Amino acid sequence: MVELAQKSSEARNARFGRVVSRYGIVLAFLILFVILSFAHQNFLSTGNITNVLRQVSINGILAVGMTFVILTGGIDLSIGSVLAFAGIVAGALVTGADPSNPFLAVAAAIGVGALFGAVNGLLVARFKVTAFVATLGMLSMARGATLLISDGRPVPNLSADFRWLGQGFVAGIPVPVICFALVFVIAWVVLRFTIYGRWIYAVGGNVRSARTSGIPTRMVTFSAYLIMGALAGFAGAILTARTTSALPQAGLGYELDAIAAVVIGGTSLVGGVGSVVFTLVGVLIIGVIGNGLDLLGVSSYYQQIVKGAIIVAAVLIDRSRNAQS
């Protein structure tokens, strides 16, 4: 009897341990949130919450795309440059005296981003170039192409209709936040409830098994980069609308923040394990830290240190989780 009771309490402890490590990052986020609420009286204000959400929406959209790529066991380093290129394209369409329809500009940005993504996807899926190398090359090429088409100068004078995409509100919610929410919900549904979602996880979990099970593995890998590119293009359009000009130097280093968000969310860099929901938590953690430390007047140098430490801690939590199972 005694032995039995002891056993069940041990099992309960073990289960508790698993829950803590699984949701540790959510817990960390909540703790961070509570601490900042006490540390600064304006942190919880509607204005600031709106503010944080708007600030994270660009990285959020990128991180959602990055989740797809990383789930397949890949990586995309080129997104910052692709974002800048797409931004210039969108900007060029809506500048001057006779601006195009803003939705056309957004569509063009998404299309151009998808084109870059398709090249990455072909290199990785068809020609078996390591994702790191292929997208590193694209990082440089897309940036060069951006500077070339823009002549290194911003495209100013964007139409007000277009700027609404970055600066406007619908029912009190900033438009970028709505865009991010849409992207997030669609990605969540796709990964969780569709055949395609299963394919992504299977290809990342074990590409050879996925093939044996009749899954078109090349197509799946290709599509992940295509989605990433399209989302980078979308993010580029929003960022351009937000900064009021299309900037050729936009998006420098954005790939690292997107990867950081995915990793903090516990998605395995090996592929096959992870969730876009936890990526959202990762995005929010990075955003809230930046915002909170700004509010408290802490030097940006510390922000970088804190962000780095959280990435490493997230991977450590992830590893202890794997060791348990």
Site for other proteins in 80-119 (CB under 8 A): 92
Residue closer to other proteins (CB basis): 103 or 302:
302
Q: How far apart are the first and last CA of the chain?
A: 28
Token duo for residue 239: 């960022």
Does residue 67 belong to the site contacting other proteins (CB under 8 A)?
Answer: no
Does residue 245 belong to the site contacting other proteins (CB under 8 A)?
Answer: yes
Number of residues that bind other proteins (CB under 8 A): 74
Judge whether 203 and 53 are in contact, CB under 8 Å.
no
Window of 20-28, 133-141, 228-236, 305-313 that interacts with other proteins by CB under 8 A: 133-141
Does residue 199 belong to the site contacting other proteins (CB under 8 A)?
Answer: yes
Work out how close the CB of 210 gets to other proteins at its nearest, in angstroms, rounded to a whole number. 7
Does residue 149 belong to the site contacting other proteins (CB under 8 A)?
Answer: yes
How far is the C-alpha of 174 from the C-alpha of 177, rounded, in Å?
5
Does residue 212 belong to the site contacting other proteins (CB under 8 A)?
Answer: yes
Over the Cα atoms of the chain, what is R_g? Answer: 21
**Torsion on CA atoms 257, 28, 34, 296, rounded to nearest 10:** -40
Does residue 308 belong to the site contacting other proteins (CB under 8 A)?
Answer: no
Judge whether 134 and 124 are in contact, CB under 8 Å.
yes
Residue closer to other proteins (CB basis): 101 or 212:
212
Does residue 297 belong to the site contacting other proteins (CB under 8 A)?
Answer: yes
How far is the C-alpha of 152 from the C-alpha of 246, rounded, in Å?
11
Specify the DSSP class assigned to residue 265: T
Does residue 239 belong to the site contacting other proteins (CB under 8 A)?
Answer: yes
Q: For the segment 2-61, give every residue that binds other proteins (CB under 8 A).
A: 6-11, 13-14, 17, 40, 42, 45, 47-48, 51, 55
Does residue 194 belong to the site contacting other proteins (CB under 8 A)?
Answer: yes
Judge whether 267 and 71 are in contact, CB under 8 Å.
yes
β-pairing, 173-174 with 169-170? antiparallel
Work out how close the CB of 249 gets to other proteins at its nearest, in angstroms, rounded to a whole number. 4
